[in-house]
Amino acid sequence: MSKPIPIILDGDPGHDDAIAWMLAASSPALKILAVTSSSGNQTIEKTTDNALRIMALLGIDAPMAMGATKPLISPAQPAPSVHGESGLDGTDLPERAQEPVDMPAAELMAQVIAASPDPVVLVPTGPLTNIAALLLSHPEVKDNISRISLMGGGVTHGNWVPAAEFNILLDPEAADVVYRSGIPITMAGVDVTEKAMLTPEDFARIRAVGGRVANVYADLLEFFYQFHKSLGYPGAPIHDGVAVAWLLRPELFQGVEMHVDIETGGTYSRGATIGDAYHVGSKEPNALVLFEVDRPAFADLFVEAVSHWKEG
Ligand code: RIB
Ligand code: CA
C-alpha cells in the first residue's frame, strides 16, 4: 500500500464534522497530523471541547489547537438550530483526553506542515478563518500543502441564505484568501453534499455494528436528521463527510474544474461562491467543484468506517 496521505482536520464540530473525522480516523490511507477547531456551528469554546471529546472517543493521536474566536471581519454566528446548544447534542461523549496546545491553530498547522516530509492536505469543514490565518501568516508553508479538500459554498445555490452556504457566508474574507491562494481546491459544496445523505436505514446499519462508537454515531446521526427531516429531507446530508470521502474514494464523485470567486460585498450575495462553469472568464480554474455522488456507496463508507471500532 502507498504511504498514507498526511492531513490536518480543521472544523467546527458539529455533527457532520464529527462524522467526517470518524471516517478519516478509520482509514489507514490517511494520517491525521493535527486537529484544529473553528468558530462556526457553535462558539470556539464549544467546538474546541467537542473536537477534544471526539478525539478521545476515536482515539485520534494528534495535537489539537483552538482556532480563532471569530471570523476575520464578521461576528461569530452559532447555529444551535442545527447542532444544538452544545454543538454536538444528541449523545453522551467522553471527557476530553488532552488539552489544546498553547498556540493558535495557524501556528500549529504551520509547524506540522513545515515538519512533514510529504505534502499535506488540509481538510477544513467549517468557516475558513484558520486556513486564511495560516496562509497569511506563514506563506512559506504553501509549497508543502498539496491540496485543500473543503466543505463549503455552492455554485448552484446556498443553504443559509439563498446565495450562500453557511461556512463561506460566516467568513467570506477568509474564503477569498483561500480561493486566491493558488493551492488546488476540492470544493464539496452543497451542490453535492445535499445529495450525500445517510438515511434512517443507514443509521440503523451503523448502530447494528455495536459498541460505543457505533452507538454514539447513530445517536449523532439521528439528532442531525431531525433538523433536516423538518425541511423534508429523506436523510441527513453529511456535508463535511464529502471532504474526507473524496480523498479516499474520488471515483464516487463527479466534478468540474472551474474558476470560483468569492463575493465579499453585496447585499444579498455576500458569501456566494461564483463558479465559472462555462469558462466565460479568463481566469484559470482554481477548484474541482463536486456535483454528483454515488450515494449508496458513500453511505457504505461510513458503515464500514464505524466497524473500525467494533469491540470484541
Ligand atoms: O453548510 C454546511 C456546513 O455548515 C457544514 O460544515 C456544517 O457542519 C456547518 O458547519
Ligand atoms: Ca462543519
151-184: pLDDT as tens digits: 999 999 999 999 999 999 999 999 999 999 999 9
Average pLDDT score over residue span 99-118: 98
Contact 172, 263 (CB under 8 A): yes
Per-residue model confidence (pLDDT) at position 2: 87
Catalytic residue, chosen from 138, 157, 228, 239, is 239
Percentage of residues of the chain with pLDDT beyond 70: 99
Average pLDDT score over residue span 127-135: 98
Residue 41 Cα: closest atom of ligand 1: 10
Is 239 catalytic? The answer is yes
The C-alpha R_g of the chain, in whole angstroms, comes to 18
Local confidence band at 187 (pLDDT 50, 70, 90 cut-offs): very high
Local confidence band at 311 (pLDDT 50, 70, 90 cut-offs): confident
Per-residue model confidence (pLDDT) at position 111: 98
Local confidence band at 191 (pLDDT 50, 70, 90 cut-offs): very high
Residue 165 Cα: closest atom of ligand 1: 1
In the structure grid, which three cell numbers stand for residue 255, read together?
466534478
Q: Is 111 in the pocket of ligand 1 (CB under 6 A)?
A: no
pTM: 0.98
